[in-house]
A and B are shown apart, each in its own frame.
Chain A
Amino acid sequence: MGKPIRITLKQANDMMGGLALQDFLVVSTSMFFIGIFGFLTRRNLITILMSVELILNSVNINFVAFNYFLHPEAMHGIFFAIFVIAVAAAEAAVAIAIIINIYRRFKSINIENVSEMKY
């Protein structure tokens, strides 16, 4: 009666309607490279920051999917996702403070105009 419920990977897959780890990894990989693409092509500092948020988010999906499918007995993936979210919040706050300071100084947040420290 007091037997705990055992869920193996196969049962977890059945529960998820045949969804596998790879499905989640494909989504997060695509999202990661979409973020990289935005990071490479954007010129505005805020849109670059948004691309970085996409990248961090895709990494979170990876952590959570690994936790769910490969290590259901532990919660390490969940905690890593929570800490990544906390670090992302701190990073966004500092980055936006820097962007606002740059805007005050240069009247623009395009990366071509902010080249004072380049040489």
Chain B
Amino acid sequence: MEIAASKVIFYIIAAAILFFALLSVTSKRILRAATYLFIVLISTAALYFLLNYQFLGAVQIALYAGGIVVMIIFSILLTSHAGQKFEPVSRLKFFASLLAVLVGWALSLWVILSHPFVASSKEAVEVNMDSIGKALLSYDRNGYVLVFEVISILLLAAMIGAIVISKKQPGDGETNPDNSKTSK
């Protein structure tokens, strides 16, 4: 009974992911595309919860759905008019992209479905907050303290870079007088 349930849940989640991902890249309105992306990211978190990786699902919801999508929606509101529609792409470009994607997709699926994956017979470790936190900060064989520090420096650099790049330059008004008038 329960065995069938998790399979059904997986197929529902997979269908939601693929359907909304497809809508997200083909939608004509940019705000709707962002909403569909949001649903895709939430469904991915559901997939992680299905695999019993609660921490990863929580990180996915907090960072992707809570952080990145909100940032994308903010930048959409800053840079485009609501209800603005895209022009359709040229027919040649559409079909060339479709062909390239379908060929790559078929090739990858063929490789995946024909490759015999070696079954693992090791014990499954319990993944919880405790083990994740200890592994993140340990420096022995399975520790990740170096990557952790590198990521923290990367985040700091990205934060400073984002602030510096998006700051208004004082010279902007002189090079483009129309710009400074309209922005005030």
Contacts and interface: CB of A to CB of B under 8 A. Distances in A.
Interface of A: 4-10, 12, 14-19, 21-27, 29-38, 40-44, 46-47, 49-51, 53-54, 57, 60-61, 64-65, 68-76, 78-79, 81-83, 85-94, 96-101, 103-105, 107, 109
A61 B44 contact: yes
B114 to A, nearest CB: 10
18 contacts: A8-B120, A9-B121, A15-B6, A22-B113, A25-B112, A27-B47, A34-B18, A46-B72, A50-B24, A53-B68, A53-B72, A54-B24, A70-B118, A78-B55, A87-B151, A98-B165, A99-B79, A104-B172
A88 B68 contact: yes
Contacts of B113: 22, 26
A109 B68 contact: no
B18 A27 contact: yes
Contacts of A6: 121, 123-124
A97 B78 CA distance: 11
A42 to B, nearest CB: 7
Give chain A's interface secondary structure class.
helix
A67 to B, nearest CB: 8
A100 B135 CA distance: 38
B33 A47 contact: yes
Interface residues on B, range: 35 or more
B75 A70 contact: no
B82 interface: no
B44 to A, nearest CB: 6
Given A78-B56, A89-B63, A96-B75, A5 B124 contact: yes
B6 A16 contact: yes
Contacts of A4: 123
Interface string B49-88: 0010101100110011001100110111011100000110
A22 B10 CA distance: 13
